Amino acid sequence: MNDRFKFRCGITISHYDDDGNDIETLLLVNNISIFDDGDVGFNRESLKEAVKRKNLSEEEERTLWNSLDEYEVFEEWYQMPADFIEQCTGLKDMNGNFIYENDIVVWNDGGGEVELKPKEGHVRIARVQLFPDLYFKLVGGYPKGTYTTGEEFHFGNFIYKNTEKYLKIVGNIHENKELLNECR
């Protein structure tokens, strides 16, 4: 469970779009270090992965990297304030991805595909939370209206403890807020 002590952060970077307009891009950066002053640090590789997930145009990516250059404190090492910091649960989903707090996960009830809107069967959709302990807070299900939102599934009592077989990350509350309401 050493992976339980991994963290990710969100950083908002101001830069320009293809038309020269000011825009802000939220990057979720994994494998960070946290400093005493509250700043976070990470290497260029972690930052590249975060930028790649945004699917920006060439020009937007160029202006984003120009803005990020001011935070490079050592060769290939960046340090800056974070908008938020989230902890890894130490668990993985069925695709081998680490599950972090505030991820949105889906799992099926009794077989069938594990998708946000399966062709058949039922799924639950929950937000991962870590305080006071690891639990999944239900935000909806599919078909709509099937489940009561707000129900909590504490990991110690969770029937699907082998998360790598049953849970799938479908987003997070920062980049996919619409998922919190989509299947209510």
DSSP string, 47-61: HHHHHHTT---HHHH
Domains of the chain, first to last? 2-82 (no CATH), 91-182 (2.30.30.290)
What pTM was computed for the model?
A: 0.85
**Placement of tokens 């802000």 in the chain:** 24
* DSSP type of residue 35: -
Q: Which residues share a beta bridge with 60? A: none
Task: Tell me the mean pLDDT in the region 53-77.
Answer: 94
Is residue 66 within 8 A of residue 102, CB to CB? The reply is no
Q: Is 23 exposed, middle or buried (0-12, 13-18, 19+ CB in 10 A)?
A: middle
| pLDDT higher than 70, residue 39 | yes
Task: Tell me the mean pLDDT in the region 117-140.
Answer: 80
Q: What is residue 158's predicted lDDT score, i.e. its pLDDT?
A: 67
H/E stretch holding 68 reads: helix 58-68
